[in-house]
Amino acid sequence: MNFSAGLLLLAVVAASPELRYFRYERPVQKSSGQSCLVLDAGIFTHAAPQLADLRLYRDGVETPFALRTAASAETAAESAAKFIPPLNLGVRNNQTVFDANLPDRHYNDLLLAVTGQNFIATVTVSGSQAEVGSAETIIGSYTIFDLTGQKLGRSTILHLPESDFRYLHFRVKGPLAPQSITGLSVERLPASQPKYEAVAETSHVTQKSHSSTFEFTVPAHIPVDRILFAPSSSPAQFSRNVSIAVTSVAPLPSSDASQHPHAVTSYGSLLRVHSVENGQRIDEERLAIDAPWVDFSTPAKWTITIVNGDDAPLTLESVRLQMLERKLCFDAVSDSSYLLYYGDPALAVPRYDYATLFTPQPNASQVTAGPEQPNPACQPRPDDRPFTEKHPALLWLALAVVIVLLGAVALRSAKPPAQPPK
């Protein structure tokens, strides 16, 4: 079956949206021109997976829209493709020096791949548009460190301002030989900083066996993209490992009682260093961790554990689960009323030309949605399944009757023929 035939079959099989089959509705603020509505966690709770049943109506007529996500996580393959080996690696004036070719021309943060432990070094970075023979522009000086011996972690990130130089030149002052530098990775500068919406927040902590644990229960279908920690001002320095365990809380069928619920586990670390080491100022904070990818169709339990070791537990004002901001954008007609509907799991993801051709406008209106309320016209969608799917027990019963009849016929055929009288 080719792709076109597959789409045609999908169009035939998929249910059509009708207002009477949506369970929930929310009024949308009036606007005109391109307008965008931020989707909150409550919509994900009652909508179908991937928001497949989300529909927008103006005066009872379906209105096309485009769904936009603030940012998306980079895949491992994309990150690996950005690794850049060092050029002209060597020593000059008792400092390790090297160059790097950055063909993408649009970047800010750089991550140096540095081997070794227990070091502090200053990296001076300059840029030019040619490898040699071009004037260099000083970008800045940055401190990298590995304070493993002090249990304060490691940072080899250079927070450059937005830059577009084709070549970067590095001078490293400190105890790092050329063989300690293996390359660097580039973080592309996004068009805008991603925005996040709150999913859940807690300050309740359970202290147990050198660890601090925070627990959440997240309803089905709600995405979680980041975990943000808000520590108090003390201590000024810490480095803690964090584990993130996500487990489905759906009850298992009795036949699967021996199996464990589906679980996902990932790890990260928190870091805050504000100090002067060997005459060099260090200011580094990492207080957010990317969440593991989870695709649960049931509620999930999130367990966040901070490993304190022998140090005093961190005092946290809150721990927040967040999702990237997701918007529904459409072209609003002035003085028209719009209603957002969802809650019909029979629907598939809509396909609109508007979404395919969508171009975001910088002056788009930001609109809000009113509170969720039951659709007063809602009624159950009729069951259009074949008779055999509606009543599978009857199919098995009929099959058993057929087997019995066939067995009787076989037994009758197997009887020996009657013997003639002597």
Q: Are 189 and 162 in contact (CB under 8 A)?
A: yes
224 and 147 in one domain?
Answer: no
52 lies in the same domain as 166: no
**Containing structural domain, residue 235:** 196-324
- What's the half-sphere exposure (Cβ side, CA atoms, 13 Å) at 130? 4
- Tokens 């401190």 locate to 143
pLDDT score recorded for residue 15? 80
- The answer to whether the predicted template modeling score (pTM) of the entire model surpasses 0.85 is no
User: What is the CATH number for 158?
Assistant: 2.60.120.260
Regarding whether 124 and 36 lie in a shared domain, the answer is: no
**Domain end position, chosen among 157, 188, 219:** 188
Radius of gyration of the chain (CA): 31
**Residues 273 and 230 reside in one and the same domain:** yes
Do 329 and 236 belong to one domain?
A: no
Q: Which of 319, 326, 283 is nearest to 152 (CA)?
A: 283
Within this chain, do residues 201 and 290 fall inside the same structural domain, yes or no? yes
Residue 2 lies in a domain: no
Regarding whether 108 and 55 lie in a shared domain, the answer is no
Q: List per-residue pLDDT tens for the chain, 422 residues long.
A: 454 444 434 443 568 899 999 999 999 999 999 999 999 998 999 999 889 999 999 999 999 999 998 865 444 444 445 788 999 999 999 999 999 998 766 777 899 999 988 899 999 999 998 888 778 899 989 999 988 887 777 889 898 888 888 999 999 999 999 999 999 988 665 556 788 999 999 999 999 889 999 999 999 899 999 999 999 988 888 889 999 999 988 665 544 444 445 688 999 999 888 877 666 677 788 899 999 988 777 899 999 999 998 899 999 999 999 999 999 999 999 989 999 999 999 999 999 999 999 999 989 999 999 999 999 999 988 866 565 565 577 677 777 788 878 877 777 776 666 666 65
Q: What is the pLDDT of residue 377?
A: 92
Write phi, then psi, for 399 (nearest 5 degrees): -65, -40
The verdict on 250 and 362 lying in the same domain is: no
CB 125 within 8 A of CB 170: yes
Residue 303 located in a structural domain: yes
Same domain, 64 and 82: no
Residue with structure tokens 């792709």?
3
Report yes or no on 236 lying in a domain.
yes
Q: Which of 117, 77, 125 is nearest to 98 (CA)?
A: 125
| Residues contacting residue 42 through CB under 8 Å, at least 6 positions apart | 372
Alpha-carbon distance 214 to 229, whole Å?
11
Residue-wise burial string across 39-72, b where 16 or more C-beta atoms lie within 10 A, e elsewhere: bbbebbbebbeebbbbbbbeeeeebbbbbeebee
Nearest to 139 by CA among 170, 185, 97: 170
Using one digit for the tens of pLDDT, what is the confidence trace for 249-284? 866 554 444 444 568 899 999 988 887 766 667 778
Q: What's the number of domains the chain is made of?
A: 3
Beta carbons within 8 Å of 74's beta carbon, 6+ residues apart = none
Q: Is 150 in the same domain as 43? A: no
